[in-house]
Chain A
Amino acid sequence: NAGVTQTPKFRVLKTGQSMTLLCAQDMNHEYMYWYRQDPGMGLRLIHYSVGEGTTAKGEVPDGYNVSRLKKQNFLLGLESAAPSQTSVYFCASSSPHFTDTQYFGPGTRLTVL
């Protein structure tokens, strides 16, 4: 089992460009999450999904959109990247309860110039 994988691992964007981060899990988990990690800020939840076709906003959703068309995939989109979105992005998945263990991907390091 690969667990949770994220594509790409690194990306550099210019301000105003768009991109999509892909998260895939092979554990048949219902719940999936996108976090961003910034120095001294811990992890902050961007969006999450409790099932295929459903998404919800987290703590810091502005500037991001998500889609969960297939159970195993959770996509995070940046329509018009800003330098404030420079961060490390982590995807996680879990069984269908918020107290279940979350399994994290290796992260995507995004730099917006």
Chain B
Amino acid sequence: AQSVTQLDSQVPVFEEAPVELRCNYSSSVSVYLFWYVQYPNQGLQLLLKYLSGSTLVKGINGFEAEFNKSQTSFHLRKPSVHISDTAEYFCAVSGPSGYSTLTFGKGTMLLVSP
């Protein structure tokens, strides 16, 4: 079974600073990777996903993530954050070959302050 580890439960950052949210997965077979965002008191929405091809994936709101198979990681980055990026971010994995439901990490709360 797949599992996802989000190494930081909370990441505080100042506005306009860069940020990286870390995600590691454990699977010996091909996987598909996702980042979802949950704004306060809302449901989740997809930020980006990696299915195949280029290992650098661009998503909405200026976020990007890089799939690193050798390090089994899929870290999320943004070069300059905004107050409105304050939210909880969830990494998720589906595998093998996409024929299984998503397994979510425990989430990382991104706190952006002025």
**Interface contact A45-B46, CB-CB below 8 Å:** no
State how many residues of chain B have any CB contact under 8 Å with chain A: 24
User: What chain B residues lie within 8 Å of A58 (beta carbons)?
Assistant: 101
Cα separation A92 to B46 with both chains bound (whole Å): 12
- Chain A-chain B contacts (Cβ-Cβ < 8 Å), number: 53
> Which chain B residues numbered 5 to 44 have a C-beta less than 8 Å away from chain A?
6, 9, 32, 36, 41-44
**Interface contact A40-B49, CB-CB below 8 Å:** no
Please, which residue of chain B has its CB at the minimum distance from the CB of A56? B101
* Interface range for A: 20 to 34
**Interface contact A43-B104, CB-CB below 8 Å:** yes
User: What chain B residues lie within 8 Å of A41 (beta carbons)?
Assistant: 106
Indicate which residue in A43, A92, A99, A101 contacts B90 across the interface (CB closer than 8 Å). Answer: A43
A111 at the interface (CB under 8 A from B): no
Please, which residue of chain B has its CB at the minimum distance from the CB of A109? B41
Rounded to whole Å, the gap between the CB of B18 and the closest CB of chain A is 25
Rounded to whole Å, the gap between the CB of A110 and the closest CB of chain B is 15
B102 at the interface (CB under 8 A from A): yes
**Interface contact A99-B43, CB-CB below 8 Å:** no
Give the top 3 A-B pairs by smallest Cβ distance, nearest first: A104-B43, A99-B98, A42-B106
Residues of A within 8 A of B (CB): 4, 33, 40-45, 48, 58-59, 90, 92, 97-99, 101-107
Residues of B within 8 A of A (CB): 6, 9, 32, 36, 41-46, 49, 51, 90, 94, 98-107
